[in-house]
Structure 1
Amino acid sequence: MEKLGLNEIRDLFRDFFVSKGHYAAGSASLIPKNDKSLLIINSGMAPLKAYFAGVETPPSKRMTTCQKCIRTGDIDNVGKTARHGTFFEMLGNFSFGDYFKEESLTWGWEFITEHLNMPKDKLWATIYQDDDEAYDIWIKLGMPAERIVRLGKEDNFWEIGLGPCGPCSEIYYDRGEAYGCGAPDCKPGCECDRYIEFWNHVFSQFSKEDDGSYSNLAHPNIDTGMGLERLACIMQDVDSIFDIDTIRKILDSVAQMAGVDYQAGNEQNDVSLRIITDHLRSMVFMIADGIMPSNEGRGYVLRRLIRRAARHGRLLGIEENNFLAKLMDSVVEVSGGAYPELVEKHDYIKKLIAIEEEQFAKTMDNGMGILEEYIAKLDKNDKMVLDGVDAFKLYDTYGFPVEMTEEILAERGITVDMDGFKENMDRQKELARQGQKSTEDVAWKDAADYDKLPKSKFLGYMEFNADAEVLYVNSSKGKNLLIFDKTPFYATSGGQLHDIGVIIIADKEYHVNDVTKENDIFLHFVDESVDNVNVGDTAELKVDVANRNRTARGHSATHILQQALKDVLGEHVSQAGSYVDNHYLRFDFNHFEAMTHDQIKEVEDIVNDKIDAFLPILMQEMPIAEAQKMGATAIFGEKYGDIVRVVSMGDYSVEFCGGTHIDNTGKIGAFKIISEAGIASGIRRIEAITGTQVIGYTEDKESVISNVCATLKSNASDIEKKAAQLVSDNKELEKTIKSLKADEIAGSLDEIIASGSDINGIKLITKRFDNTDVAQLREMADAIKSSETKSIFVAASVNDGKIAILVSVSDELVSEGFHAGKLVKEIAQVAGGNGGGKAGMAQAGAKDESKLEEAFELAKTLVANK
């Protein structure tokens, strides 16, 4: 049996099944597509569920894949054992109603015995206890009866709830008696390490019904899975996934950076090396597939992996900044050939890991100090359990992951009261939910009894005017509320602001200032008193069309904007929030750094190109499965019903959306980004305007240019040249002034030194300087040190209201214990400032110019008292 490399095995498997008529599909993303049952792809068949369920048509009835997978259940065990890992690759061949058991097992046997050349006498098979068909196939292939083991439903029957299910057959490799338990009946199914299962063939031939019975599927399927790393362990005759060629290369890179040897007798070092190695693979692949660190969902899994690896780097003594970002090169080196996205996104992955490492370094520095205080308190009180409230404070105040608190404490034999932690977490979530509604709104809710009304029929997608019946009237808490059986007024939701307009009842106009929605009941709030309105009255509802159009064009622009951001920044971009009203739009999205000027311009140009293309905007209601087939973008975590509304901007953007839109992108008119900024870790915000707002924005800019031209006595065509000349002239003047100032200071240095006081043999010089920069003060300080071997210089520079205080201590006085950093801190506080620095020279800022003389007096006192 040849010791094949992991990458070689992957290629052999793919090529073998292609020769058997299989379509070789690339690995799906780790982010599940249209599957809310999974956080991250965790098996080879997971991305293919829609094919097995018949919801989507596969590209071929025979497929083969090598699928990237992440399993989060073993994170706590990774590193502690040599076999657990979070990231792995799953080889698989699949049949969607085409071939069945005989072909699956026959080809499996052919591949492992003729292409991998595994010794036949080392191979065993397990089958479901009642599956005589599989038994007969194995006998036919030459597997001795004594090496075919029948196991029960728990081991060899695959089913999850109702629907397709069936027996399975697993192939095992005998590693030899040295790994066994010594029992005479030791065989597959035994708990010892002798027999390693490496390929599972699932025969989906039944359907489990509601009554618990099983019916035969008209078209049985094949689903096989073989862990690539586990197979590589067998082929390379190693005991651990961390010893196979590709993973060992990553581990060796970690060990080299840490300056330690693997398996050199230090088990704690080995644990840390394995954790960093595994987590490096996971984080690189996750980021390449568009997952970003965050505090929830799959983003939290990524953040936890990065932070756990970063901490174990510290335990190994790695002092290099951003060491994980540097080590990720080894992952790309061994896997980039099979997964080109790692090469394409190399710089992006590196940058994102580096940013997360830097943020975590601050978290660790803050959190560890507090945690050490908690540990000391526990030791003092002879306790071994950290209170849940303390664990929550670490998490909530200092950003310290509770899993990390658990892990650190476990190393010292201390546990965490997780029930208490969860109670505090639930309490915070509840307070946050309550905080979303103002006290006034809660009081209003208590005063209003409309919960039993029928749902309002919304007409506003197609109609702006409607006649409706009044179902509810209330005037309370300073609000005037009307509810109707139907309405054309859009209620605030999905980031889009409500419509405004008028309601006419008995020839009286009521001006709508707010529309909200509760359980699909539309609440219309108006300016005028509704005391004379009665239930059953007929009303005419008229939406302000111009206002609606301004809002709708902004909403349509956000859809194009989201796709443009993906095109320019990458597929990792996803919506994190939005707001649209009749004046402007705001779009929040996941991204790890500020956009460059060129990127902003490129996004803006793409949106305007789509506006100029006059793309039709199509709004359709359809079953969610059909929308998913179209590839419609959904907001992660948002709940959708069976019927969804899909909005398409030509063939450029397709999204789930319940808001209002114009019918053609050309009606947006124009699009202009007015700001881009960060609002939270990994979250950026774009603010933009559309249509006539762009005209107003342009007019404002033209007015500014006109005023600048008048000030500079220039016309618009020469304004840049004129401004550049003024800046250049100003710099020359500043240089001249500084030079003159330096000459002035140098000429008066003897006078400055002479102005100092003699305090116990120390020359203390205190002086205020106007329009003098700190660099000049430093030069002066160095000159004073050269002239006076026992001197302290306290200088204050005042420039346009900004105050800087410099303290310089000569070398001889530093050796006697004087410290400039400590002195400047106390001196600056008198003038409302703060600062610090080294013993020889330090600097601080201050706020109160009137207190400088008082600060100088304190300097004299401090020097006198040493």
Structure 2
Amino acid sequence: MKQYNLNQVRKEFLDFFKEKDHYIADSYSLVPKNDKSLLLINAGMAPLKAYFLGTAQPPKKRMATCQKCIRTGDIDNVGKTDRHGTFFEMLGNFSFGDYFKKEIIKWAWEFMTQRIEIPEELLWVTVFHEDDEAFDIWKNEVGISPDRIVRLGKEDNFWEHGLGPCGPCSEIYIDRGEKYSCGDPNCKPGCDCDRFVEVWNLVFSQFDKDEDGNYNPLPNPNIDTGMGLERMVCVLNDASNIFEIEPISSIIKNVENISGKKYGENKAEDVSIRVIIDHLRAMTFLVSDGVIPSNEGRGYVLRRLIRRAARHGKLLGIEGEFLYKLSEIIIDNWGEYYPNLVDKKVQIKKVIQVEEQKFQETIDQGMNILKEFLQDMSKKGDKVLEGVKAFKLYDTYGFPLDLTKEILDEKGYTVDEEGFNNEMEEQRQRARNARANGDFEGWNRNSQAKISNDVLTEFIGYENKEATSKVILLIKDNVEVDSLKEGEDGIIILDQTVFYPEGGGQVSDRGILFNDNFKCELKDVKKIDGNKILHFVSIESGIINVGQKVHAEINEKKRMNTARNHTATHLLHRALKDVLGEHVNQAGSLVDEEKLRFDFTHFQGVAKEELSKIEDIVNERILDCLDISITTGNMDEARKMGAVALFDEKYGDKVRIVKMGNYSIELCGGTHLSNTSQVQIFKIVSEGGIASGVRRIEAITGEAAFKNIKNTYKAMDEVANKLKTIPSNVLDKLKNSLEENKSLSKKIESLKAKMAVSKVDDIIKDVITMNDLSLVVKQIDGLEVNDMRNLCDEIKNKITGDVLIVLGTVKNDKVNFVASATKPLTKKGIHAGNIIREVAKATGGGGGGRPDMATAGGKDPSKVKEALDLVENLVRNSVK
């Protein structure tokens, strides 16, 4: 067979189906959009579910993709077997009610035999045992021998997943030859041996399974095919696993270079090399799609992959961070087809490096703790690590449970996962209870299917602030109704609307709908399934019926203030890149009439000087009076212009390009101004971290910024009045006052220390002599810890021989203890740290320190005397 690499097969497949009049879509993000059932995209058809279900319109009835996918169900087996991996690419072609079995079967045969030139005698197919139609097409239309068409049962050749669309499938197999055979002369597809490998699955979605288990024929059956790119290339190159094909095999050489290990010489080391390579691809693609390491959800998947690969690097003897450097190889080899990798190169490397650094800081300490646990288990003969200890490793040292399990498994131990889960239950409960806010989400989940696909709303709000529209649908309590009357809440769908629906981080417009017979106020506006725009309303007066005309007016002041903040968000995004670096990307936003909130990827706090510079740049662009132009085009045109695609935005064939002078170009569906000068003024009010590698800036513009400045000046006037000066002299006056207060405080502390020292003679009158040592125990309130230490030194200077001093104090309801012993006493069994710890416990506190000097804190001032009374017995029990 002709040999290919990954890039060649991918290109051949997509080019082939482009010639068959298919729309070739770019790979969708690994992060599912509008699909809460999936954590990550795990199949080629997963991002297209809405098209198959009919709840959204595809760009064309024929599509083909190469979809990046991640599956983590078998992550523990990655590296140990030839077939398990986390990241893979899935080639697929799809028909949404267009062509069906005859076309795809003939095309599949054409692609396999003519396009990639696989000898016909090596190809076998399977069909569902009841699918005579598919059997006849293979036999009569394609001309394949019936001996090489295998009928298999429902388990092998029928695709269904719960209720809904399902159907039989036909799989194409390649015969790899006798050397992979089980030896059975009747060996054929369906056998468990490695001779026949399935490379392409053609799914014929022709039924709709209902709740009673009936398979009802679909009026417009679909085609859904899947071909694992890596598996296909393995077979074409007669490779036993994906690590032997290009460009994956080239990564092995890089791992060999940095580790000094040779692939193929040691089984355990081979496992580590495979884990690194597999996880490296997955982590690089995850970060490129905006995933950040965290302790839950897809962020936890990323953290687990990075830390697992980093640990296997340590097993190979690799010191320090190395994964972020190797990620460049992934970017170089896959970047041509996935340009997002190149665009996010700096961010990808930084995110991986920061996570590696965090893990390097904790892994050695965590491994030592785990080693202690293992030694303790070995002594006791236990084989199961307690859940509370596994949780400690997770919570304190950043060890994912899976990593602990993997390490223990290598030693022949297991983990009490139930105990671990109990420790995590409170956190998991919070996650389970997380709900999307508002009544809309509940309605959307339960009732959106009730809205016909023909119900569409045209948005005309970019150019218009008011319009007359027709009511085409009314909903009350999740049920379609003919009318809504005064006092009722419901949903209105119009044929056209001026109200911007919530999206892209921008809140929806507010305003009113009215005619001669009714009036209502908008509570919210949301968009679902492409162009269905829902107006959530409360009817203030009258009654509204389906089919009636209504006049719509937006709240122009709210729209203008929101547009100010949204426009400023674009300027801020560009300014952040200018000051902090191109790795900065949007990670979320909220824009309303009062403020803007902008989340962005960055890996350390933003310095005050940097924030000031960012703020200055935005205000300079406002004063530059840059014209704002908004055009539409396709993604290729936008990319050539240098447009930035914003986080979590869903783009179609046509995109909206917002250009602010020559400074900022972004894709955005929000409402904006016509000139940056209309923002008026921009003021940052806060900056801080919200997650690992993600920062947040909150800012205000226009009227809100003016109010902020006015209030600041008002506060400055009040401060100036208090300091009896003018606002321009406040800093100098305040500086002088602080220095004066500092000087006075030092004098007060000095006087207090002198007063305490003057009491030394009175203190040592109460000295206790026992076992050749002098013991001084005293409560002296109002002292700082340093004062007590100095007092201990003065007492030791006054008393000859060995002395132990224990002092307690209460100041501002805060309890502190100090213990000090001469060096010789420590050899006789006196340990100041142990003594002070027990004393502090009596007041509900704790502490400790060296044998000759220690401090501790307490909680209950009323028990200080009772605590100090313990000292004499503690000393008697300690002296050897």
Q: Report TM bin, short chain.
A: 0.5 to 0.7
Q: Counterpart in 2 of 1:99?
A: 99
Equivalent position to 1:692, from 684, 703, 706: 706
- Deviation per residue, 1:253-310 (Å, 9 max, x gap): 112211111111x111000000000011011111111111111111111111001000
Shift of 1:407: 0.7
Does the 8 Å CA contact 1:668/1:691 hold for their aligned counterparts?
no
Compared with structure 1, are the counterparts of its residues 635 and 428 closer, same or farther at alpha carbon in structure 2 (3 Å cutoff)?
farther
User: What is the aligned-residue RMSD (CA, Å)?
Assistant: 4.6
Q: Counterpart in 1 of 2:302?
A: 302
Name the aligned partner's letter for residue 695 of structure 2. Answer: R
Q: Counterpart in 2 of 1:186?
A: 187
Does the 8 Å CA contact 1:127/1:167 hold for their aligned counterparts?
yes
- Deviation per residue, 1:568-609 (Å, 9 max, x gap): 577963349x89998x87766654344576787568866997
SS in 1 for 2:2: coil
Shift of 1:554: 9.0
Shift of 1:699: 3.8
- Deviation per residue, 1:398-454 (Å, 9 max, x gap): 2221111111111101100001111111145569999xxxxxxxxxxxxxxxxxxxx
Q: Counterpart in 1 of 2:13?
A: 13
Q: Counterpart in 2 of 1:155?
A: 156
Q: Is residue 412 from structure 1 mapped to residue 426 from structure 2 by the alignment? A: no
Q: Counterpart in 2 of 1:401?
A: 400
SS in 2 for 1:186: coil
- Deviation per residue, 1:63-85 (Å, 9 max, x gap): 11111111111211111112211
Q: Counterpart in 1 of 2:873?
A: none
Q: Counterpart in 2 of 1:573?
A: 586
Task: Please say which of residues 141-150 and 307-316 is displaced more in the overlay.
Answer: 141-150
Compared with structure 1, are the counterparts of its residues 19 and 82 closer, same or farther at alpha carbon in structure 2 (3 Å cutoff)?
same
Q: Counterpart in 2 of 1:383?
A: 382
Name the aligned partner's letter for residue 254 of structure 1. Answer: V
Q: Counterpart in 1 of 2:32?
A: 32
Q: Quote the Cα distance in structure 2 between the aligned partners of 1:590 and 1:323.
A: 21
Shift of 1:671: 3.0
Q: Is residue 126 from structure 1 mapped to residue 123 from structure 2 by the alignment? A: no
Q: Is residue 676 from structure 1 mapped to residue 690 from structure 2 by the alignment? A: no
Task: Please say which of residues 273-282 and 245-254 is displaced more in the overlay.
Answer: 245-254
Task: Please say which of residues 420-429 and 299-308 is displaced more in the overlay.
Answer: 420-429
The alignment covers a number of residue pairs equal to 583
- Deviation per residue, 1:487-540 (Å, 9 max, x gap): 9xxxxxxx99xxxxxxxxxxxxxxxxxxxxxxxxxxxxxxxxxxxxxxxxxxxx
- Deviation per residue, 1:603-653 (Å, 9 max, x gap): 8866997999999xxxxxxxxxxxxxxx998899xxxxxxxxxxxxxx986
Compared with structure 1, are the counterparts of its residues 333 and 112 closer, same or farther at alpha carbon in structure 2 (3 Å cutoff)?
same
Does the 8 Å CA contact 1:553/1:667 hold for their aligned counterparts?
no
Q: Quote the Cα distance in structure 2 between the aligned partners of 1:356 and 1:251.
A: 22
Does the 8 Å CA contact 2:347/2:584 hold for their aligned counterparts?
no
Q: Is residue 59 from structure 1 mapped to residue 63 from structure 2 by the alignment? A: no
SS in 2 for 1:94: strand
Q: Quote the Cα distance in structure 1 between the aligned partners of 2:587 and 2:561.
A: 18
Name the aligned partner's letter for residue 233 of structure 1. Answer: C
Q: Counterpart in 2 of 1:258?
A: 259
Q: Quote the Cα distance in structure 2 between the aligned partners of 1:359 and 1:387.
A: 25
Q: Quote the Cα distance in structure 1 between the aligned partners of 2:240 and 2:611.
A: 49
Does the 8 Å CA contact 1:604/1:672 hold for their aligned counterparts?
no
Compared with structure 1, are the counterparts of its residues 77 and 707 closer, same or farther at alpha carbon in structure 2 (3 Å cutoff)?
farther
- Deviation per residue, 1:91-133 (Å, 9 max, x gap): 1111111111111011111111111111111111010111111
Q: Counterpart in 2 of 1:232?
A: 233
Q: Quote the Cα distance in structure 1 between the aligned partners of 2:176 and 2:408.
A: 38
Name the aligned partner's letter for residue 684 of structure 2. Answer: I
Compared with structure 1, are the counterparts of its residues 202 and 432 closer, same or farther at alpha carbon in structure 2 (3 Å cutoff)?
closer
Q: Counterpart in 1 of 2:804?
A: none
Does the 8 Å CA contact 1:325/1:353 hold for their aligned counterparts?
yes
Q: Counterpart in 1 of 2:352?
A: 353
TM norm structure 1: 0.60
Runs of 4+ aligned residues of structure 1 deviating over 2 Å after TM superposition are: 427-434, 548-576, 578-582, 584-615, 631-636, 651-656, 664-671, 674-683, 685-713, 826-832
Shift of 1:20: 1.2
Does the 8 Å CA contact 2:22/2:62 hold for their aligned counterparts?
yes
- Deviation per residue, 1:1-28 (Å, 9 max, x gap): 2111211111111111111111211111
Unaligned runs of 5+ in 1: 435-484, 488-494, 497-547, 616-630, 637-650, 657-661, 714-825, 833-866
SS in 1 for 2:187: coil
Written as runs of structure 1 = structure 2, the 5 A alignment for 1:274-353 is 274-319=274-319, 321-353=320-352
Compared with structure 1, are the counterparts of its residues 113 and 486 closer, same or farther at alpha carbon in structure 2 (3 Å cutoff)?
closer
Name the aligned partner's letter for residue 696 of structure 2. Answer: R
Shift of 1:179: 1.3
Shift of 1:665: 12
SS in 1 for 2:165: strand
Name the aligned partner's letter for residue 302 of structure 1. Answer: L
TM norm structure 2: 0.59
Compared with structure 1, are the counterparts of its residues 125 and 409 closer, same or farther at alpha carbon in structure 2 (3 Å cutoff)?
same
SS in 2 for 1:245: coil
Q: Counterpart in 1 of 2:822?
A: none
Q: Quote the Cα distance in structure 2 between the aligned partners of 1:700 and 1:205.
A: 72
Q: Quote the Cα distance in structure 1 between the aligned partners of 2:25 and 2:593.
A: 44
Q: Counterpart in 2 of 1:859?
A: none
Q: Quote the Cα distance in structure 2 between the aligned partners of 1:367 and 1:23.
A: 51
SS in 2 for 1:200: strand
Shift of 1:702: 9.3
Compared with structure 1, are the counterparts of its residues 430 and 98 closer, same or farther at alpha carbon in structure 2 (3 Å cutoff)?
closer
Name the aligned partner's letter for residue 79 of structure 2. Answer: G
Does the 8 Å CA contact 1:129/1:150 hold for their aligned counterparts?
yes
SS in 2 for 1:124: strand
Does the 8 Å CA contact 1:124/1:173 hold for their aligned counterparts?
yes
Name the aligned partner's letter for residue 19 of structure 2. Answer: S
Name the aligned partner's letter for residue 310 of structure 2. Answer: A
Compared with structure 1, are the counterparts of its residues 267 and 107 closer, same or farther at alpha carbon in structure 2 (3 Å cutoff)?
same
Name the aligned partner's letter for residue 289 of structure 1. Answer: D
Does the 8 Å CA contact 2:565/2:679 hold for their aligned counterparts?
no
Shift of 1:397: 2.2
Q: Quote the Cα distance in structure 1 between the aligned partners of 2:583 and 2:568.
A: 13
Task: Please say which of residues 302-311 and 74-83 is displaced more in the overlay.
Answer: 74-83
Written as runs of structure 1 = structure 2, the 5 A alignment for 1:45-56 is 45-56=45-56
Name the aligned partner's letter for residue 60 of structure 1. Answer: K
Compared with structure 1, are the counterparts of its residues 586 and 45 closer, same or farther at alpha carbon in structure 2 (3 Å cutoff)?
closer
Does the 8 Å CA contact 1:207/1:214 hold for their aligned counterparts?
yes
Does the 8 Å CA contact 2:26/2:66 hold for their aligned counterparts?
yes
Q: Counterpart in 2 of 1:137?
A: 137
Name the aligned partner's letter for residue 170 of structure 1. Answer: E
Q: Counterpart in 2 of 1:372?
A: 371
Written as runs of structure 1 = structure 2, the 5 A alignment for 1:163-174 is 163-174=164-175
Does the 8 Å CA contact 1:291/1:572 hold for their aligned counterparts?
no
Task: Please say which of residues 700-709 and 301-310 is displaced more in the overlay.
Answer: 700-709
Q: Quote the Cα distance in structure 1 between the aligned partners of 2:38 and 2:225.
A: 20
Shift of 1:365: 2.4
Does the 8 Å CA contact 2:294/2:691 hold for their aligned counterparts?
no
Does the 8 Å CA contact 1:203/1:221 hold for their aligned counterparts?
yes
Compared with structure 1, are the counterparts of its residues 420 and 585 closer, same or farther at alpha carbon in structure 2 (3 Å cutoff)?
same
Q: Counterpart in 2 of 1:212?
A: 213
Q: Counterpart in 2 of 1:479?
A: none
